[in-house]
Amino acid sequence: MENKVYLKKLVEELHSATVATIGADGHPQTRVIDMMLWDDKGVYFLTAKGKEFYRQVMEQQFIAVSATKGKVSVSLRGKVKNIGSKRLDEIFEKNVYMQEIYPDDTRTALEVFCVYEAEGEYFDIGDPSHVVRDSFVIGDIKTKQIGYFVGQGCIGCKLCYSVCPQKCIDISGKPVVIDQNCCLHCGQCAEICPKQVIEKRS
């Protein structure tokens, strides 16, 4: 699917996401933040200038986002920038509950941030016997191949297939091929491979 499908799902269907930054003690810190808008440039959220989260995002300019509902999740990891009050009125129009949280002129306490360069992942376990995984990006960045890949030297023994929970390995040829959109990244194939030609990329 196209990136915009996942961004729309994140904002309009999942909406509330766990967002991680690094705290003053050097450890990860999370909080729940609503994803307010999306477009071709990225995903938008807001926070109050007096919050510790605001200070962390301003300093680190990088966040990790993960939202889930039911059996579906969308995650992002990437750069974020402050765009001030731009699109603040639009956010309040589309997310009317914000008008009660910050009525009248009190919305001036808020500033808007945009996640503009990020790697993302969509994960759906709605059908447990056939999971769906997909990667996407926001902005002009190159995607990185992650997961398990079968290299040269595969002898076609099919042991990897025998331990794969999703049976997502095409064993019709050599080397066998792992379907990255269904793989759970459990690593059992790499462990059992007698030739040790299954590589983990991260």
CATH number of the domain where residue 171 is located: 3.30.70.20
Say if residue 90 is in the same domain as residue 43.
yes
One-letter amino acid at 6 equals Y
Same domain, 159 and 122: no
CB atoms within 10 A of CB 122: 20
Please give the pLDDT value at position 144. 74
Give the pTM: 0.87
CATH of the domain at 81: 2.30.110.10
Residue 104 sits in the same domain as residue 185: no
Q: Of 178, 15, 23, 38, nearest to 118 (Cα)?
A: 38
- Written as one letter, the residue type at 31 is R
Indicate if 60 and 154 belong to the same structural domain. Answer: no
In the structure encoding, which two tokens stand for residue 87, read together?
Answer: 């699109």
Shared domain for 23 and 103, answered yes or no, is yes
Whether residue 96 sits in one domain with residue 55: yes
pLDDT in tens, 175-189: 999 999 999 999 999
Domain that holds residue 196: 147-201
- Tell me the pLDDT tens digit for each residue of 69-98: 999 999 999 999 999 999 999 999 999 999
Split into its structural domains, the chain has a count of 2
Q: How confident is the model at residue 142 (pLDDT cuts 50, 70, 90)?
A: confident
| Same-domain status, 98 and 194 | no
Omega within 30 of 0 (cis) for the link into 175: yes
**Residue 182 to residue 202: CA distance in whole angstroms:** 17
Q: Read off the DSSP letter of residue 127.
A: S
List the Cα angle 50/51/56 in 5-degree steps: 115
